[in-house]
Amino acid sequence: MEALILSAVGIGFVHSLAPDHWLPFASIAKAQGWSRQKLIMVSLLAGAAHVGSSIVLGALGIFLGLGLFHLEGAESFRGNIAGFLLIGFGAAYALWGLKHLRHNHLHMDNAKTVTVWALIAIFIFGPCEPLIPLMFLAVQHGWYGVWLTTVAFSLITVLMIVSQSMLAFLGMGLLPGRRMVHMERWSHVMAGGIIALTGAGVMFLGI
């Protein structure tokens, strides 16, 4: 059982290194001038939604006696949806940013609210591919083993999402002042482009 828990922690750590787990939050936070507290809260909620949706699917699969093959197929389908949503969201946000360059009176408060909930929704669709196989392996230890494995994987995954988002956000703040002034004008366009490219990289390049 200890080996399974350690595996869950290690796999969760490596899985969370993928840029689609943290780069969207850092990019949007910098573009919209989020506080550190807001970045932590949004990335925490999205991370919980990310693992939570796979936990529900895996638990239902175990309870109903579904095969791992069927659930992995469902996770793959959800992953494709999440990838396309990330690309679409990034492209739409970049276009909104271009419009913002010409019309500075656009309602930022509404845009910020929509952006937060859009990111969380995308992460609900985004699957934790390794989690369900780990849950099925833990069945041999009963539901208690499934619970421990799930908690170990989930905690490290959410912690990584929040910490990497914050590190990237802080790193962006280290850019030289003159460059930052110029970039801030294009921050929304760049944030949308980064998110779209991240989604494309995950979808088509396996980043």
Report domain extents, the chain: 2-205
pLDDT value at 106 more than 60:
no
- Cα–Cα distance for residue pair 153/123, rounded to 1 Å: 16
CA 78, CA 129: separation in Å to the nearest integer? 10
Split at pLDDT 50, 70, 90, the class of 109 is: low
The answer to whether residue 179 scores a pLDDT higher than 60 is no
Q: Which three-class secondary structure state does DSSP give residue 30?
A: helix
CA distance 195 to 83: 10
Q: Are 192 and 97 in contact (CB under 8 A)?
A: yes
User: Binning pLDDT at 50, 70 and 90, where does residue 180 land?
Assistant: very low
Q: Report the pLDDT value the prediction gives residue 178, as an integer from 0 to 100.
A: 47
Distance CA 70, CA 91 (A): 32
- Whole-angstrom Cα Rg for the chain: 18
More confident residue, 82 or 46: 46
The pTM for the full model equals 0.79
pLDDT at 139: 87
Out of 46-55, 92-101, 104-113, 171-180, give the one with best mean pLDDT. Answer: 46-55
pLDDT, residue 68, reads 60
- pLDDT value of position 186: 63
What is the model's pLDDT at position 103? 58
Average pLDDT score over residue span 152-161: 96
- CA neighbours closer than 13 Å in the CB half-sphere of residue 173: 13
pLDDT in tens, 20-34: 899 899 989 988 889
Q: Which residues are CB-neighbours of 146 under 8 A, at least 6 positions away?
A: 59, 62, 135, 138, 139
> What number is the average pLDDT over the span 80-107?
74
